[in-house]
Amino acid sequence: MAVSAETLAPRRTAERAPSLALVIVAWNEREALARTLPALTDQLRPGDELIVVDNGSTDGTPELVRELAPGARIVSLGDNRGFAPAVNAGGAAATADLLLILNPDAAPRPGFCDAIRRPWEDGRGWGAWMGLVTAEEGRVVNTRGGVVHFTGIAWAGGAGEPLPETVEAGEVAFASGACLAIPLASWRRLGGFPDEYFLYHEDVDVSLRLRLAGERLGLEPAAVVDHDYEFHRRGQKMRLLERNRWATVLRTYPGPVLAVALPGLLLTELALIPVSIAGGWWRLKLGGWADLLRSLPRILHERRRIQATRTITSAEFAAQLTPELDSVYLGRLGGFAPLRWGLRAYWGAARALLRLLSFRP
Nearest residue to 347 (alpha-carbon basis) of 257, 214, 271: 257
Q: pTM score, two decimals?
A: 0.91
**Beta carbons within 10 angstroms of residue 238's beta carbon:** 22
pLDDT computed for residue 328 by the predictor: 77
What are the residue boundaries of the structural domains of the chain, listed by start?
Answer: 5-227, 237-357
CA-wise closest residue to 220 among 185, 179, 183:
179
The predicted structure's pLDDT at residue 107 = 94
Residues 6+ apart with CB under 8 A from 294: none
Q: What residues contact 342, with CB distance under 8 A and at least 6 apart?
A: none
100 by DSSP, 3-state: which?
strand
DSSP-based helix, strand, coil % in the chain, nearest 5: 45, 20, 35
348: Cα separation from own chain's centroid? 25
The amino acid occupying position 342 is: G
What 3-state class would DSSP assign to 57?
coil
Question: Residue 334 has what pLDDT?
Answer: 64
* pLDDT single digits (tens) 217-249: 999 999 999 998 776 666 789 999 999 999 999
Q: Which amino acid appears at position 32 of this protein?
A: A
Of the candidates 107, 106, 104, the one whose C-alpha atom is nearest the C-alpha of residue 64 is 104
CA 58 to CA 327: how far, in whole Å? 35
Q: pLDDT value at position 5?
A: 37
Class of domain 5-227: alpha beta
Please give the sequence-ordered ranges of beta strands (E in DSSP) within the chain, or none if there are none: 20-26, 49-54, 73-76, 98-102, 106-108, 126-135, 140-143, 146-148, 154-156, 170-171, 179-183, 216-227
The CA-to-CA distance between both ends of the chain, in Å, stands at 28
Contact between residue 13 and residue 19 where contact means Cβ atoms under 8 Å apart: no
C-alpha pair distances (Å), 228 with each of 50, 52, 309: 21, 18, 36
SS3 1: coil
Of the candidates 94, 100, 50, 51, which has an alpha carbon nearest to the alpha carbon of residue 76?
A: 51
Can you give the pLDDT at residue 337? 78
Cα(312)–Cα(248) distance, integer angstroms: 18
Residue ranges in the chain whose pLDDT is less than 50: 1-14, 359, 361
The whole-angstrom separation of Cα 139 and Cα 3 is 23
What pLDDT does 1 receive?
29
Instruction: State residue 40 phi and psi, 5-degree precision.
Output: -95, -45
Spatial separation of the C-alpha atoms in residues 22 and 20, rounded to whole Å: 6
Say what the pLDDT of residue 317 is. Answer: 97
